[in-house]
Amino acid sequence: MRVVVVGAGIAGMSLAAALTRDGVGVTVLEQAPGPAPAGAGIQLTPNALRPLLRLGLGPALERVGVRPAARDVLRWDDDRLLGSAPLGDAFAERYGASTLTLLCSDLHRVLSGAVPSDAVRYGRYVTDLLEDSDGVTVRCSDGRQVHGDVAVGADGANSLIRSLLNTERYRPPRRLLYRGLAPASRVPELCGRARIHVWAGHDRYILCFPVAAGRKVCFTAAVPAGADDPGYWTTRNRVVDLTAAFDGWSPAVPRLISAAEWVGVRGVHDHSPVPVWHRGRVALMGDAAHPTLPFFAQEPNQAVEDAVALAGRLREATALSVDGALEDYARTRKARTDRLHAVTRQILATLRASGERTPEAWERAVAKAEEANAEVIYGREPAEDGARPVGADPTTG
């Protein structure tokens, strides 16, 4: 079995690492000229961390990650504590793994270390995909072609592979998501304890957490989208604009933003669930399959789950059974991500129905939804969807 993965992000590299562990041949095509530089941070929650630990990546992840003890939600203007959720040991005891915060680039390096170096080919912009009874052919803009038994679209929220399987209607972004990175030494008041801090306002929020073994602080801020395209702004202009967006907030917020050495921004599109995840020998995963609103930090974590579930099907598939294996993967994974999508929709519907737009109402709605669905979100194993766990002995299932 030879698998061709389009996209070398967290989704694609997680799949490549899982397939490599099981001796399945994989080629990853990435349009960027090389790995992304340090920038955005992520939260690995227990549902994704457990299978990564079984892949043997625990020591490498521990060297670059931080285990926050709790997540504190603070009122936007006066730092009043609205709610606190224990993480760390509490999560480890309840779900078998804690939450780990780290840079996307550090996770990418850890995953890359589990994949043969010649398996990832950078600078390959995929333009088309052809399928026949013998396999798939992926075409690149430089005229090169890569053949395989299966093709997987892990090419992000603006996926080309998704557009080949689905008819889409463009929806303008309703929110902008800023991500920034600052030296911990410039905001020591936020680094005394390893915690996730969230400042909540009525129509925007900003959160931060330690990364890079505590040497850096990453922040994520969501604000309503304006008319301007932020893609051409420099980091300096983004800092100015973001500071203005949080004018009057807790003094810790502008200090955090002004300390940033890098700021990126992207639009958050309000996608409906993707209807078609699979056709023949082609499947989708990660943001290509389920672009989602940023609740419960599940964007990268669901991508890891996809990788584990898909690898579980492909490791035992043959040329005759691969279509059915991909169909089973798509059916079970779509059911799970659609359920999580429905939870986030319900949070928004609850807030709209109540007419409350206060930080307190936002915290109550999110905390209630998280607790009601915690076992589903954090405790679920991809193996429950029919895939043998990563790293499991194939003779024991």
Distance of CA 350 to the CA centre of its chain: 25
Q: Among residues of the chain, what percentage have pLDDT more than 70? A: 90
pLDDT band at 369 (very low <50, low <70, confident <90, very high): confident
pLDDT over 80 at 351, yes or no: no
What is the phi/psi pair of residue 172, to 5°? -65, 150
Beta strand 205-211 pairing with 216-224? antiparallel
Closest C-alpha to 295, from 200, 214, 382, 213? 200
First vs last Cα of the chain: how many Å apart?
20
Q: What is the pLDDT of residues 38-91, one digit of tens each?
A: 678 999 999 999 999 999 999 999 999 999 999 999 999 999 999 999 999 999
State whether CATH 3.30.9.30 applies to domain 175-268.
yes
Average per-residue pLDDT for the chain: 89
Q: What is the pLDDT of residues 87-135, one digit of tens each?
A: 999 999 999 999 999 999 999 999 999 999 999 999 999 999 999 988 9
pLDDT band at 390 (very low <50, low <70, confident <90, very high): very low
The fold for domain 2-70+94-170+273-385 equals FAD/NAD(P)-binding domain (3.50.50)
Q: What is the pLDDT of residues 220-254, one digit of tens each?
A: 999 988 745 555 567 788 899 999 999 999 999 99
How confident is the model over 364-381, as a mean pLDDT?
A: 85
Q: Is the dihedral of CA 9, 160, 329, 375 positive or negative?
A: positive
Full-model pTM: 0.91
Position 49, amino acid: L
What is the token pair recorded at 346? 């319900």
Domain residue limits, the chain: 2-70+94-170+273-385, 175-268
- d(Cα 214, Cα 205) in Å, to the nearest integer? 23
Q: What is the pLDDT of residues 274-307, one digit of tens each?
A: 999 999 999 999 999 998 766 788 989 999 999 9
Inter-residue contact 342 to 298 (CB < 8 Å): no
Report in angstroms the alpha-carbon separations of 288 from 25, 58, 281, 392: 22, 27, 16, 27
